[in-house]
Chains A and B, each alone.
Chain A
């Protein structure tokens, strides 16, 4: 089959590789009909996530048709059309029972590695380094889906791939980012990063009843998308001082909920500050460029919530813990527990409450994945989201 492989920093290739096989009774093989490049794939592309290996198949946003099922998978049949959540979860451990699917205790066979870096291990994730399992991803013609009786959601309504594909990750991730803010009437929510997750966070915050939703980015075309998603205000951080602007917009209170949808490769408008973190990451003195997170903490209203759904890998520097502690802030975070959002968000799409296709800017054949990665990373051609068709 053809598959998108990570060949090193800034280097992906689509190559011929062997077809996947069932390794366990609870596996299924899915023939991928649509897959997407995620912003977090760019962290792999840029070499920020450790334990990648040359030849790893990328991609954790994919859907398709079931072509083979193990004998332990009772709920799926060959021919079923499914979307596959990016976290691999067993459904039986205490974490899964509690709905914390992205910290499934069983699905990462390399838990020992993750424990060394993070203390405890999260779940396994498709195509997202060996730290989270060494599972091949779905930017390929076929993919093996472990615990296929737990994760995949059958799509039985007449919806296009594009409408439901983002249930695999970015819609639930953005939604969880907003949900963690415990939005009540009158709340102001600010979202750092108007990429795909940020756009869904904006839309979700609106859905959950936020009075005002402020999107922060530096690309005009993305801020336009944010308005389309429901943002009441947008801030270009290269043009305004974000803290001042947020205080202005909230009459000095600060946003009640601050969502970091940027993650570890944020940039900073002040060259010196940006260069400081770039230099530190270059020599591995920190692994993140956490400008968005620092700013989200500083901006947040006293007693408010900082919700982190942007991806971080390791250690950051200059963490404003004093601001966090003295002002009674709450931090909530996590990789999205996609499984618990699949059904409710699917219903919202089916019922027309949201049309997720608004953020797709490019649809390419799988073979052009390398081009897609570059375009998405460099924000060429107003790129917001790349869907690949195997």
Chain B
């Protein structure tokens, strides 16, 4: 459920790699002989068909990378490993008749049949170039992985604080009521605590500003003021905390008509900075190991209130949907 949208940095690099892949791919497919000569590879029929295959592979990497998906750099890393292995075999088997296995493995570094010094030099250069590209591929791929978990807060949250880490969660539900009604219920900010389990109070604090009080473990509270930065009736509400917050945070909730007249799709995204110090620890504890479950629980209660007029309670879970109660169920029996 958490976001996996990438940061701009890796996305740009991904596009550059995409262009490189496209260039290599097109060159290999259009002029395999030229490529073979340039990189110090022989121009036997096998080598040429190998180059064509690698060219096709390059184009396969190219499309998703051009679309800005840095994760696909991993496929390039795999390709690089293959190519470097093949080139290594080619270089070390100098003077030894090439093995069919080496041939099968090889790609950009097709083994040489009769190497001259010039070819040797070209092969070395090609190997170095591939190695350089491999390093860039690896860096992009690794960054894409980090970006997956850390990117969203950058877009959503003010960039003022030196955050150690952030909690960034999203959840969605479908509510069997029209978007305007669902929007209006959420927009009634002072009533948010009715379905947000950890929020004790939301009170007005000036035009477009609200003061939030949330429960933290150990009967503590954390507080912040927040401003509504966007409100598009029936569609979207965006808010973020103001400077001086115990916990910097921001959120956005979007409402869209569900297909087939099934009400409204509600998508929420929340991000909390987790600074050092007590407040940070409190936030970490508050969310425990299941921050997404907590947001889902809030949405479940929101849906219940809109559809049934109440939060649904059982004797095992008297509070209504609540992540921490799931692990600590009361027996399904009335309590005195």
Binding site for B on A (CB under 8 A): 3, 5, 17-21, 23-26, 51, 53-57, 72, 90-94, 97, 105-113, 124, 127, 130, 133-137, 144, 146-147
Contacts A/B (CB < 8 Å), 29 sampled: A17-B333, A18-B333, A51-B329, A53-B330, A53-B331, A54-B331, A57-B333, A72-B309, A90-B307, A90-B312, A91-B308, A106-B312, A108-B312, A110-B314, A110-B329, A111-B300, A112-B293, A112-B321, A127-B332, A130-B316, A130-B332, A133-B332, A134-B314, A135-B332, A136-B334, A144-B315, A144-B334, A146-B313, A147-B308
Q: How far is the CB of B95 from chain A (nearest CB, A)?
A: 55
Secondary structure type dominating chain B contacts: loop
> Once the chains bind, are A112 and B315 in contact (CB under 8 Å)?
no
Taking CB atoms, residues of chain B closer than 8 Å to A97 are 176
Q: Does B304 have its Cβ within 8 Å of any Cβ on chain A?
A: yes
Q: How far is the CB of B335 from chain A (nearest CB, A)?
A: 6
Q: How far is the CB of B13 from chain A (nearest CB, A)?
A: 36
Binding site for A on B (CB under 8 A): 174, 176, 262-263, 293, 296-297, 300, 303-304, 307-318, 320-323, 326, 329-336
Q: Out of A18, A26, A54, A108, which one reaches B310, CB within 8 Å? A: A26
> Once the chains bind, are B317 and A57 in contact (CB under 8 Å)?
no
Asked, given contacts A26-B309, A106-B303, A112-B321, whether A135 binds B334 with beta carbons under 8 Å apart, the answer is: no
Q: Out of B176, B293, B312, B336, which one reaches A109, CB within 8 Å? A: B312
B260 — nearest CB in chain A belongs to which residue?
A94
Bound Cα distance from A113 to B330, whole angstroms: 14
> Once the chains bind, are B320 and A109 in contact (CB under 8 Å)?
yes
B290 — nearest CB in chain A belongs to which residue?
A112
Taking CB atoms, residues of chain B closer than 8 Å to A56 are 316, 331-333
Taking CB atoms, residues of chain B closer than 8 Å to A53 are 316, 329-332
> Once the chains bind, are B316 and A134 in contact (CB under 8 Å)?
yes
Q: How far is the CB of B287 from chain A (nearest CB, A)?
A: 14
Secondary structure type dominating chain A contacts: loop
Q: Out of B263, B313, B321, which one reaches A111, CB within 8 Å? A: B321
> Once the chains bind, are A134 and B315 in contact (CB under 8 Å)?
yes
Bound Cα distance from A182 to B208, whole angstroms: 59
Taking CB atoms, residues of chain A closer than 8 Å to B321 are 109-112
Can you name 12 extra interface pairs (CB under 8 A) apart from A90-B307, A106-B307, A134-B330? A20-B334, A23-B313, A23-B314, A24-B311, A55-B331, A94-B262, A106-B303, A110-B326, A110-B329, A134-B317, A134-B332, A135-B314
> Once the chains bind, are B312 and A124 in contact (CB under 8 Å)?
yes
Q: How far is the CB of A316 from chain B (nearest CB, A)?
A: 26
Taking CB atoms, residues of chain B closer than 8 Å to A24 are 310-313
Taking CB atoms, residues of chain B closer than 8 Å to A107 are 312
Bound Cα distance from A20 to B332, whole angstroms: 11
B308 — nearest CB in chain A belongs to which residue?
A90
B296 — nearest CB in chain A belongs to which residue?
A112
